[in-house]
Chain A
Amino acid sequence: KQEVTQIPAALSVPEGENLVLNCSFTDSAIYNLQWFRQDPGKGLTSLLLIQSSQREQTSGRLNASLDKSSGRSTLYIAASQPGDSATYLCAVSHSGGGADGLTFGKGTHLIIQP
């Protein structure tokens, strides 16, 4: 059974720092991997989706990489801002279209200090 682990569980850094969030998964036979952001008491917002054939995806200050063979993904946040404070979750899918849902990690709770 697929297991997704996110490290660290919590992270607090001063504003302006670059930071890296880590995600690992036990079964490398994935279809894609997604990074989500969740604000307190809210639903999830998709940030980046990486297909299994891709190595990375970029959106603004966010860059996600995928090393499928080693079962790892990282989310790089450049020049962090207080508005980046949230919980970040990664999730892997084993089928296109998410037909069987996703397997989620427990998330990294990020606090950016002004």
Chain B
Amino acid sequence: DGGITQSPKYLFRKEGQNVTLSCEQNLNHDAMYWYRQDPGQGLRLIYYSQIVNDFQKGDIAEGYSVSREKKESFPLTVTSAQKNPTAFYLCSSSSAEKLFFGSGTQLSVL
């Protein structure tokens, strides 16, 4: 089955802790994206990558970091500098103009 796998589905972060959200795709897509979704809000772009070893900041990159060492993987780290990390995080990849999404990770603060 081709698709995007996000893990874990639920994640809890303690004060001052960095946590990493996983995103893997087997669609052979070059472009990958991380979005944040807050209740009742639209999606906001955190980071995106159009090619391996390259990535760009989106609208709300502060407090987050990413890497793109392999085409199929685009992990997102939520650092301790992100003071309001509780949200639903969505990873996506694109082929031409169509976006495909993973099932999301709900991050909460303990």
Contacts and interface: CB of A to CB of B under 8 A. Distances in A.
Nearest to B4: A43
A32 B99 CA distance: 12
B101 A49 contact: no
B90 A43 contact: yes
A45 B99 CA distance: 8
Contact of A98 (B31, B41, B103): B31
Interface stretch (A12-20, A55-63, A67-75, A99-107): A99-107
Contact of A93 (B35, B88, B90, B97): B97
B58 interface: yes
B102 interface: yes
A4 interface: yes
Nearest to A95: B97
Interface residues of B, number: 28
A45 B40 CA distance: 18
Nearest to B106: A41
Contacts of A83: none
A105 B44 CA distance: 10
Contact of B40 (A91, A103, A106): A106
A24 B25 CA distance: 32
B42 A104 contact: yes
Interface of A: 4, 9, 31-32, 34, 41-46, 49, 89, 91, 93, 96-107
Interface of B: 4, 6, 31, 33, 35, 40-45, 48, 50, 58, 88, 90, 92, 94, 96-104, 106
A-B CB proximity, top 9 nearest? A43-B101, A104-B42, A101-B45, A104-B43, A44-B101, A106-B42, A98-B94, A43-B103, A43-B102
